[in-house]
Chain A
Amino acid sequence: MHYTAAWQQLHWSDALYVLVASLRTLQLTFMSVLLGTLLGIPLGVLRALSPVVRVLSSPLVDVVRSVPMIIQLIILDTCLSISGWPLSAFQLGTLALGAWMTMVTAEIVRGAYEAVAPGLRRVARSLGMSSWQELRVVSLPLALRGGFPAWVGAALCLVKDSALVGIFGYVELTKAGQILNARTHHTFLVLGGIGATYFFICHVITFCTRRIERRMAE
C-alpha cells in the first residue's frame, strides 16, 4: 500500500507550533526566574550578613554550580517519583532551574551587597536609621542596581538551559524542533530556525534590559 502522511513537508501551521513552543520556553524561563529571584535575594543578603548562613549554604551553591543541569534534573525527577509527588515536566523544570537561579542570584546579590561602599552604610546608621531601614533604603537598592547586569546574564542562561527540560517531555522550542525535524527531515532548516528563534528571544531581552540599565544609571 502506498502511504503518504498528510503534512509531511513543512507547512505554515508549523510556524504557529514554533510560536507556541517559544511561548512555553518563555513561560518556563519566567517562572524559574521569578522563583529564583524571590528566593535568591533574601538568601544573598543573609549570606552577606551572617557567617552561619554562608557556611551552611555554600555547599549548596557549590553543588548546583558544578553538577551538570541534566544530572540535576534527572536526580530531582527520580527523587520526586520516589517520594510519591509526581510533578509535571513544567513543574520539575521550574523547580530545578529555579534552584539554580536561586543560588546564582544569591551569589550575585552577595557580591553586589559587599561592593556597596561601607562608608555609606555607616552614614545611614549615624543618621539614625535602624539596621533594617539602612538595608531597605540604602544597601539593598544599591546592591540590586549593581547586580542587575549579572542577573540578566543568569536569566539569559536560563532561556538556553530550559532546552534541557524538553528531554523530560515539556514541549518547548528545542523539543518542538526535534519533533518537526523527525517529521520533515529538513534538519538544517528546522534547527536553524529554532536557533534563530532563541537568538531573537535573547536579543530582545538584552535590548530591553539595556534600556532599563540606562534609565537606572541616569
Chain B
Amino acid sequence: MSDYHFHWVMALRDLPSLLQGAVVTLQLTILSMIIGVGVSVPLAVMRWQGRGVWSGVAGAWVDVARNTPVLLQVYAVYFGLGAYGFNISSYAATLLAISFNNIGYLIEIFRGGLATVPRYQYISGRSLGMSATQAYAYIVWPQLLRIVFYSVMTQMIWAMLNTSLGLLIGLRELAGAAEQAQSVNYRTLETFAMAALLYYLMAKLLILGAELLYARLYGRR
C-alpha cells in the first residue's frame, strides 16, 4: 500500500444513509420475491403439464431470463420502456427487472420440484373428488414447498445481490446510497467496504430467517 490513510470516521458519518439504502434493498428483495413466486407458480404448473400457449410462454420466459445478463434486463426495462414513452421510476424499473429475472429462475425451481412429487398423489386427490386447484393446493404444494424451500431461499439471496444493479440507473438502494455517499465524502474504499459488510450481514440475516422459518414449519432438518 502506498501512503493511503483510512478515514473510517468520515465514512461512518454516512452510515445512516447507507442503512436507509439497505431498507430499500430489503424492500425490493421481498417485493420481487412475492411477485416472483406469485407469477411463477401458475406458470410452473402450466409448464409442467407441458401443453398450451402458457407452457410456451413459461418456457420462453425461462430461456430469456436465464440466458441474458441481469444488467441487460435492467437496462431493457428502464431504457426500453422509456423509449416507448413509459417513463417509470428507477425503483419501479429495478423491481420489474429483478422480478422478471426471479420468475424465470423460480419457474425452473418449481417445475423441478413438481417433478419430484409423484403423479399419483395428484391423481388420488382428483379421484377423491377434489378439483384440480384443490388437489394442487392441499396435496401437491405442501409437499413441494418443503422440497424447493432452500432453492427458493438461494434465489432470494441472488435477488438481493441483483438489486445492487439499481445503482446504475440511479436508484438509491444500498449500492446506490454508497455511491452517492462516496461522491460527497471522497472515501470510496471505506464507504463501499461498509456497503459490502451490510450486504454480507443482510445475506446472513435472510439465511438465518429462512432456517428459523424452515424449523418452524417442518422441524429440524
Are A and B associated in one complex?
Answer: yes
**Contact yes or no, B2 A68, CB < 8 A:** no
Contacts of A156 in B (CB 8 A): 67
Known: A70-B164, A70-B165, A71-B195. A82 touches B189 (CB 8 A): yes
Instruction: Scan B54-92; emit 1 where CB is below 8 A from any A CB, else 0.
Output: 000000000110011111100110011011100000000
- Chain B nearest CB from A154 CB (Å) reads 13
Q: Is B175 an interface position by the 8 A CB rule? A: yes
Which residue of the partner chain A has the closest CB to B157? Answer: A66
**Distance A197 CA – B64 CA, assembled complex (angstroms):** 11
Interface size counted on chain B using CB atoms at 8 A: 37
Q: Please give the distance in Å from B24's CB to the nearest CB on chain A.
A: 14
Assuming the A-B contacts A68-B161, A68-B199, are A78 and B71 also in contact, with contact meaning beta carbons closer than 8 angstroms in the complex?
Answer: no
Query: Can you list, as one digit per residue, whether each of A70-111 has a CB less than 8 Å from chain B (1) or not (0)?
Result: 111011001100111000000000000000000000000000
**Complex contact B64–A195 (CB within 8 A):** yes
- Determine chain B's interface SS by DSSP, over half rule: helix
Q: Are A68 and B164 in touch, CB under 8 angstroms?
A: yes
* Residues from chain A with Cβ under 8 Å of B79 in the complex: 181, 187, 191
The binding surface of chain A is classed by DSSP as: helix
Number of interface residues of A (CB under 8 A): 40
Q: Which residues of A contact B71 (CB under 8 A)?
A: 163-164, 166, 174
**A187:B80 contact, CB within 8 angstroms:** yes
CA distance A68 to B4 in the complex (A): 25
CB distance from A200 to the nearest CB of B (A): 9
Given contacts A82-B2, A188-B80, contact A71 B72 (CB under 8 A): no
Q: By the criterion CB–CB under 8 Å, are A75 and B189 in contact?
A: yes
Residue A63, interface by CB 8 Å: yes
